[in-house]
Chain A
């Protein structure tokens, strides 16, 4: 099987500690979607743990209908058509990828590929034989090549256009891969542009599942409504008027873990408290998207259980060094970090549905640095640092924030108000500018903010997906002017606009670049730990929180395993009775 150090199924994460879920894996969760029904107390959520050894043999085929209730209906049933984790929850049941995440962990296991090998710029994979799609076709290398081309190859006749194909095509695959080729009926070779360590994790992402070639030809864009996969559940019907997706067990599933229930239904119940009530009254077996208040309903019920765990995500406030001059001084950034009471924000405003962050990644991700603590609130120190930096009299800046709650920031406006009142005490005036999420992204992508709230939900559970994705400016180290640790985005091409701080610390950049091109976990880990130290010292952000994942599960549900990423693994679930 897997050969490289990185590929061994060594769980560098503790099973339960490792954290985000299906929801989170698609970072753009609710590039709106979540917003529709969210409220002050809402949060999107992912998986939750229950000891997996509860998945005993007692009820191999319990049958019955498992109902999974969430806040929103799916927008599509095609994983190539979406950036939303809400959609992935369903597609993950229907489809398999070449490589999959181990249920409950961020490590990898064999999926439709039985073996893989990464060397330099080549990934070669051996595919599983005898796997049948739901339409009866046998899975071969051609299906994968077609799937890949449909996602990123504009010249492919079945390429559906950028209006349809999601940005994950280039983002997770296309930007790193130069070619995908069939080497035999069950052999695939992927050529990379350069050594890229997270590639295997990207192949395990929800967007890297496999379509059937004949279904691609037959349905085209209608795959969004007619999914044909190899997964443990088959698609039956989608009733958009009642927001209900019905799947049935796939008796021909290739894996050991065939679905234990006969039927799986995804329903949408918009309001958190209604959803919690639905769970308690037996209208649903598993629910997600719980907030501080609705989770109490679950907690207080003897019919259901509340499961929670830290998610792989981060909420933060970024200083825009390219635009706002005082933020170019490290002492000013540190002063702001000291002045803001992140602990209070997390505990009283996010009300226990998040934990305080000390660094970009939560403890469940490889490379977490245990020696770093969050900046404590210390107004005197902040004042002193400001004076040293020549800003003893304070200054005025604009804090841009999105208006609606997002997973990693369940109460953005209230959080901004706290920042404002905290900073007022050290003489800094904050003007809050709040916008809907999309105009907000436009605003920050163009570096119009002085500082902004932002956040991130992991795509693949890799530290690169935080450190490089959010803090590397995307330009060459040599292009960063000497003695300067920020860039002016106007002067460069291919700026990584997700680096909302425009931070360009060359030491940090070097570490993350090396981390990205080194395959061995043992070598990558110290690099990210060092990167965390630089991050903490230089603080291009005020790291705020890692949101928790909350799930409500009825007592008769067994085998519901943690899905920090890649889940929910509903084929493992059975209903007792």
Chain B
């Protein structure tokens, strides 16, 4: 009896109330690492929005040869580059690249690109995964089998490999990479959500609701979804870091962003291939630094969230 009232209780209060009532938020906020992660993410979002609004896309995309010094080192180095004999100046705090573009502005704009495409990728795969997972759990039988076996097939590939195989089909470009990665991540969400949804469905109250004549969508929206929200959120957060890494990886390999685009992966690629052994380390260093910090932010937060939630989460999410 007592369990029944308890679950019903949870089912009827919304997620917000539940979060407030649960020790989740307070626990999360008391986790210093998670707070650090959150701070990093906010900072990166701020940088992304700033650069979207104030960085001139043309000047970070097109060649600035003749306008800016070529391959100038970061400003704090008062050293001449071996290659072009340029000195670093404060106008280019991170130096300039082979096309004389300001690396600082490029890295800032790269933040916007990473955040934008990362959000789209994670958002799309979350939606798709949640939909498929709930459908599989709710309808069971053939629906469940078809969906989950398809997910199994997708999960049978190492993720970057699957992304590459999909890129071989779709062709290259940032948007195509986003689609490929969305498909790569979807099964993870579907699995997590299906598992969580099955647990909710096992509870009797759903049966009770159904007996009262509630229709499918209502049951899903009112009862199942709120109960899956926690694992979904954690999975999304952890996946965000991964998405940023993978997006950049595909650009690094030459399948993502088009030449000239200030994407971190592409900057790294050019900097590593052409600048690393020639001593122009700043070319690849800064994009990598921003990338790593951003990903660290998401991992810190995701980790903290996982700790703050039910310990069982550790098994469901990984």
Asked if A and B touch directly (CB within 8 angstroms), the answer is yes
Indicate if A294 sits at the interface (CB-CB under 8 A): yes
| A272 contact set on B, CB distance < 8 A | 273-274
Complexed CA–CA distance, A412 and B260 (Å): 11
Of residues 242 through 275 on chain A, the ones whose CB sits less than 8 Å from some CB of chain B are 271-274
Indicate if B270 sits at the interface (CB-CB under 8 A): yes
| B65 contact set on A, CB distance < 8 A | 348, 351
* Contact B66–A348 (Cβ < 8 Å): yes
Option from B99, B171, B270, B278 in Cβ contact (under 8 Å) with A39: B270
Indicate if A550 sits at the interface (CB-CB under 8 A): no
| A277 contact set on B, CB distance < 8 A | 277
* Contact A417–B273 (Cβ < 8 Å): no
Indicate if A505 sits at the interface (CB-CB under 8 A): no
Q: A296-B83, A414-B63 are in contact. Are A435 and B278 (CB under 8 A)?
A: no
| A296 contact set on B, CB distance < 8 A | 83, 278
A415 nearest in chain B by CB position: B259
Of residues 416 through 430 on chain A, the ones whose CB sits less than 8 Å from some CB of chain B are 417-418, 421
Indicate if A411 sits at the interface (CB-CB under 8 A): yes
* Contact A276–B260 (Cβ < 8 Å): no
Interface residues on B, range: 20 to 34
Indicate if A481 sits at the interface (CB-CB under 8 A): no
**In whole Å, how far is A35's beta carbon from the nearest beta carbon of chain B?**
9
**In whole Å, how far is B64's beta carbon from the nearest beta carbon of chain A?**
9
Complexed CA–CA distance, A276 and B276 (Å): 12
Option from B61, B172, B259, B273 in Cβ contact (under 8 Å) with A273: B273
Option from B61, B62, B274 in Cβ contact (under 8 Å) with A293: B274
| A271 contact set on B, CB distance < 8 A | 272-273, 277
* Contact A349–B274 (Cβ < 8 Å): no
Indicate if B269 sits at the interface (CB-CB under 8 A): yes
* Contact B275–A273 (Cβ < 8 Å): yes
* Contact A414–B274 (Cβ < 8 Å): no
| B275 contact set on A, CB distance < 8 A | 273, 293
* Contact A436–B172 (Cβ < 8 Å): yes
Complexed CA–CA distance, A271 and B260 (Å): 19
* Contact A348–B63 (Cβ < 8 Å): yes
* Contact A291–B274 (Cβ < 8 Å): yes
Interface of B is mostly: loop
* Contact B273–A300 (Cβ < 8 Å): no
**In whole Å, how far is A563's beta carbon from the nearest beta carbon of chain B?**
26
* Contact A404–B254 (Cβ < 8 Å): yes
* Contact A300–B83 (Cβ < 8 Å): yes
Indicate if A292 sits at the interface (CB-CB under 8 A): yes
Option from B171, B172, B260, B269 in Cβ contact (under 8 Å) with A414: B260
| B66 contact set on A, CB distance < 8 A | 348
Q: Mark B258-285, 1 if CB is under 8 A from A, else 0.
A: 1110000000011011111110000000
Indicate if B165 sits at the interface (CB-CB under 8 A): no
A421 nearest in chain B by CB position: B62
* Contact A40–B277 (Cβ < 8 Å): no
* Contact A403–B172 (Cβ < 8 Å): yes
Q: A39-B270, A40-B98, A40-B270 are in contact. Are A403 and B258 (CB under 8 A)?
A: yes
**In whole Å, how far is A367's beta carbon from the nearest beta carbon of chain B?**
34
Complexed CA–CA distance, A40 and B254 (Å): 10
* Contact B98–A292 (Cβ < 8 Å): yes
* Contact B172–A413 (Cβ < 8 Å): no
Indicate if A184 sits at the interface (CB-CB under 8 A): no
Q: Mark B22-62, 1 if CB is under 8 A from A, else 0.
A: 00000000000000000000000000000000000000011
Indicate if B91 sits at the interface (CB-CB under 8 A): no
| B289 contact set on A, CB distance < 8 A | none
Q: A273-B276, A274-B277, A349-B63 are in contact. Are A39 and B269 (CB under 8 A)?
A: yes
Complexed CA–CA distance, A414 and B172 (Å): 16
* Contact A417–B274 (Cβ < 8 Å): no
* Contact A293–B260 (Cβ < 8 Å): no
**In whole Å, how far is B175's beta carbon from the nearest beta carbon of chain A?**
13
Q: Mark A50-77, 1 if CB is under 8 A from B, else 0.
A: 0000000000000000000000000000
* Contact B278–A294 (Cβ < 8 Å): yes
Complexed CA–CA distance, A412 and B172 (Å): 15
Indicate if A41 sits at the interface (CB-CB under 8 A): yes
Indicate if A439 sits at the interface (CB-CB under 8 A): yes
Indicate if B229 sits at the interface (CB-CB under 8 A): no
Complexed CA–CA distance, A293 and B276 (Å): 11
| B278 contact set on A, CB distance < 8 A | 273, 276, 293-294, 296-297
Q: A293-B98, A348-B63, A435-B171 are in contact. Are A417 and B277 (CB under 8 A)?
A: no
**In whole Å, how far is A354's beta carbon from the nearest beta carbon of chain B?**
15
Indicate if A377 sits at the interface (CB-CB under 8 A): no
Indicate if B19 sits at the interface (CB-CB under 8 A): no
**In whole Å, how far is B18's beta carbon from the nearest beta carbon of chain A?**
49
| B172 contact set on A, CB distance < 8 A | 403, 436
Complexed CA–CA distance, A292 and B272 (Å): 15
* Contact A39–B63 (Cβ < 8 Å): no
Q: A348-B65, A403-B172, A436-B172 are in contact. Are A413 and B273 (CB under 8 A)?
A: no
Indicate if B82 sits at the interface (CB-CB under 8 A): yes
Of residues 79 through 113 on chain B, the ones whose CB sits less than 8 Å from some CB of chain A are 82-83, 98-99
Of the candidates A41, A273, A412, A439, the one having the most CB atoms from chain B within 10 angstroms of its own CB is A273
Complexed CA–CA distance, A417 and B58 (Å): 11
Complexed CA–CA distance, A211 and B254 (Å): 39
Indicate if A117 sits at the interface (CB-CB under 8 A): no
**In whole Å, how far is A481's beta carbon from the nearest beta carbon of chain B?**
37
**In whole Å, how far is A378's beta carbon from the nearest beta carbon of chain B?**
20
Option from B99, B259, B270, B272 in Cβ contact (under 8 Å) with A413: B259
What are the nearest 3 A-B pairs in CB distance?
A413-B259, A273-B277, A293-B274
Sample 24 A-B pairs with CB under 8 A, ordered by A number. A39-B269, A40-B98, A41-B98, A271-B273, A272-B274, A274-B277, A276-B278, A293-B83, A293-B274, A294-B278, A296-B83, A297-B277, A300-B83, A348-B63, A348-B66, A403-B172, A403-B258, A413-B258, A413-B260, A414-B62, A414-B63, A414-B260, A436-B171, A439-B171
B residues with CB within 8 A of A? 61-63, 65-66, 82-83, 98-99, 171-172, 254, 258-260, 269-270, 272-278
Other than the known A348-B66, A417-B62, A417-B260, what 9 A-B pairs have Cβ atoms closer than 8 Å? A273-B278, A291-B274, A293-B83, A293-B278, A300-B83, A351-B65, A404-B254, A434-B258, A436-B172
